[in-house]
Amino acid sequence: MPAIKYRVSLSKTEIEQLEGMLRKGKSAARAQTRARILLKAASGCKDDEIMNALAVSAGMVGKTRQRCVEEGVDAALQDRPRPGQVPKLSERQCAQVIAIACTPAPEGHDHWTLRLLAGKVVELGYAESFSHEAVRRLLKKHAQTLAAT
């Protein structure tokens, strides 16, 4: 087994903080697992011992050690923000689409369809393209608002 690249050393206050977090049991399961990893790593356990004791992967142990050494205990306990696609519509534009859905349908149609609303979003210049599925999700998300009107 190669030498441990990231040696975790915790102060007394950090150890008390982690043990207190585990005693309370109010934190997320991932944070508790990471706290256990840090406590075991600080006590001198090797990665394979930690993996067997806590039933976690080598990657989780390694990344937790690395983040603790490089960024601190708090950073090691938290999940990093995950990348995601930026919404195509702002909250105001979403509200306008919902308002349009509540108006009478355009001439030649009995009611607003998802595809008509998606076309209206593009026509108004809110987005270059917008699918009918995105309109469905938007309306479903704001169903309580629509039901109240």
Q: For 5-63, write each residue's pLDDT tens digit.
A: 888 889 999 999 999 999 998 888 999 999 999 999 999 999 999 999 999 999 999 99
pLDDT, residue 143, reads 80
Global pTM reads 0.59
The 10s digit of each residue's pLDDT in 97-147 is 999 999 999 999 999 999 999 999 999 999 999 999 999 999 998 886 666
User: How are the residues of the chain apportioned to helix, strand and coil, as percentages rounded to the nearest 5?
Assistant: 60, 0, 40
Residue type present at position 93:
Q
pLDDT, residue 25, reads 80
